[in-house]
Amino acid sequence: MAQLVLWDIDHTLVDTRGVGRSLFAEAFRRVTGLEMKEQAKIDGLTEPVIFRETAKLHGLTTTQEDFEAFAQALGEGHVRRAADLREHGHALDGAASILDALADRGLLQTVVTGNVRAAAEVKVAAFGLDHHLDLTVGAYGEDAEERAELVTIALKRADQQASEAVLVGDTPADVEAALTAGVRVVGVATGRSSADELREAGADVVLPDLSDTREALRTLADV
C-alpha cells in the first residue's frame, strides 16, 4: 500500500452544488469590477488559470497581483459563506468512510487541488472531511498553475517519493498530472468525466464512486 494518498477535492470528495461558482463570481466582481457573464472551463484546471481565462472572456488581461487579490477575495468568500456550502453542498458518498479507513491503516493523506488554500480548507471542513487530512503538506492553486507541478510540490512537502504515493481524482487532468509526476492514480467517475475517459487518460484503476469502502480500500492497497 502507498504511504501517501493525494486527494483531489471537487467532485472527488465534495460537490458544492453551485455555491463554488457563485463564490468565484463574487470574487471576480470584487477584483475586476465586472459581473461574471461566463466562466472558463474549470474541470481539472487550477484557480489561477481559470481566473486568467475567465478574465480574457471579459476582455481583460490580468497580472499576478490581480490573481493574488482574487485568491484573497475567494478565500474570504468561502470563510464567510461556509454555512451556505454546508446547506447546499455535500460530501460525496463514501468520502468520510474511506478517509477514516485509510487513517486507521496509518496512511498520510492530503490534498492536491487547483483551489486556493483557504477555499480548500473551508470545503473539506464544511463537510467534516478535514480530520484525517494533513493540509500543511498539500498543494494548492497559489503554488503552481500546472497540476503535475502541484503533485511534485505535495510530494516534497510530505517528504515522500512518487513511488510511495497514489493520487485519487475525477478528471483526466488529475490522471495526467499524476502520471507526469510518476505517481499511481485511481480515477473516480463522480464528476463530469466518464469511467472510460479516465481509463483512456491512463488511470491505473477506475472506481464508479467511493461508496463501497471495502472496495476503495482494496483498490488503494493493490494499485
pLDDT band at 100 (very low <50, low <70, confident <90, very high): very high
pLDDT of residue 1 exceeding 80, the answer is no
Neighbours of 129 (CB within 10 A): 22
> By mean pLDDT, which of 39-48, 49-58, 97-106 is the weakest?
39-48
Residue 42 is predicted with a pLDDT of 83
Q: Are 104 and 220 in contact (CB under 8 A)?
A: no
pLDDT digits (tens, 9 = 90+) for 68-90: 999 999 999 999 999 999 999 99
pLDDT band at 222 (very low <50, low <70, confident <90, very high): confident
Question: At residue 107, what is the residue type?
Answer: L
Per-chain mean pLDDT for the chain: 96
Question: At residue 131, what is the residue type?
Answer: H
Q: Which three cell numbers stand for residue 193?
A: 468525466
Residue 157 is predicted with a pLDDT of 98
* Distance between CA atoms of residues 20 and 85, nearest Å: 8
Mapped onto helix, strand or coil, the DSSP state of residue 186 is: strand
Which neighbouring-strand residues pair with 109?
5
Residue 44 is predicted with a pLDDT of 85
> Nearest Cα to 165, choosing from 150, 154, 176?
154
pLDDT digits (tens, 9 = 90+) for 119-143: 999 999 999 999 999 999 999 999 9
Helices and strands: H and E segment counts in the chain: 10, 7
